[in-house]
Amino acid sequence: MVTSQLEVRSIRDPLVLAAMRRVPRHAFVGTEHMDEAYADSPLPIGEEQTISQPYIVALMTEMLGLRAELRVLEIGTGSGYQAAVLAEIVREVFTVEARVALLDNARRCLGGRGYRNLRFRHGNGWEGWSEFAPFDRIIVTACAGRVPPRLVEQLSPDGVMVLPLAKDAGKQVLCRVTRIGTLGMDIQDGIPVRFVPMISEGGAEE
């Protein structure tokens, strides 16, 4: 998977490539999708949600520009696969999931893997996780129509957030947001993507 799907598409960060070699993707998909776990595509994980295609996981992780000493917030735990990739690389990972059934499942998948640098929370990701803010990096793995303001507030100065944003006609673009000073942000657009929609601000958790 790493050679044929990531390296050929120019994923270069050695930390990302090593992490994706170490995390067994099959441990994060249900038994019915086990034989497709390393396929070049997203897969269903229940509750009408999906685990992203390996390339998209790698690309978003690379776009974060990670280093071992950083603290990262993830919104949308889902299967827990992206959280595991992050936890292989950085000092601390905080992950928030709105659907309790998925969160419980991710805890189970990740629990046995011995990550001591990973914390979970059930909640709406629009709120972030203020108790542990600021974060050096934030990754959002569901698509919103705008950058959640609370997340910008919880980003360190010069911090980076990677997220899909819905633009005109619902087209989604992978964006890299850099926090500038206390109020500003710079948004760079990347490739077109397709993510599940983010539960709305103030929307009910499940």
Among the candidate windows 18-26, 31-39, 152-160, 193-201, which touches ligand SAH by CB under 6 A? Answer: 193-201
Residues 98/100/102/106 CA torsion (nearest 10 deg): 100
N-terminal to C-terminal alpha carbon distance within the chain: 33
Q: Return the number of the residue (17 or 49) whose C-beta is nearest ligand SAH.
A: 49
10 is an active site residue? no
From 4, 10, 52, 200, the catalytic residue: 52
Residues in contact with ligand SAH, counted by CB under 6 A, come to a total of 24
x/- track of binding to ligand SAH for residues 94-123 (CB under 6 A)? --xxxx--x---------------------
Helix segments in the chain, DSSP class H: 14-22, 54-63, 81-89, 100-111, 149-153
What's the CA angle centered on 95, arms 51 and 195, to 5 degrees?
Answer: 35
Per DSSP, the three-state class of 82 is: helix
Q: Return the number of the residue (180 or 191) whose C-beta is nearest ligand SAH.
A: 191
x/- track of binding to ligand SAH for residues 56-95 (CB under 6 A)? -------------------xx-xx-xx-------------
Least CB distance from residue 3 to ligand SAH, whole Å?
21
Report the alpha-carbon distance of residue 55 to residue 42 in Å, rounded: 10
Query: Under the criterion CB under 6 A, does residue 49 sit at the interface with ligand SAH?
Result: yes
**Cα–Cα separations (whole angstroms), residue 7 to 2, 113, 141:** 6, 26, 22
Residues 126-155 that bind ligand SAH (CB under 6 A): 126, 141-142
Please give the backbone phi and psi of residue 52, each rounded to the nearest 5 degrees, phi first: -65, 155
Per DSSP, the three-state class of 78 is: coil
Question: What is the binding site for ligand SAH (CB under 6 A)?
Answer: 45, 49-52, 75-76, 78-79, 81-82, 96-99, 102, 124-126, 141-142, 196, 198-199
List the catalytic residues.
Answer: 52
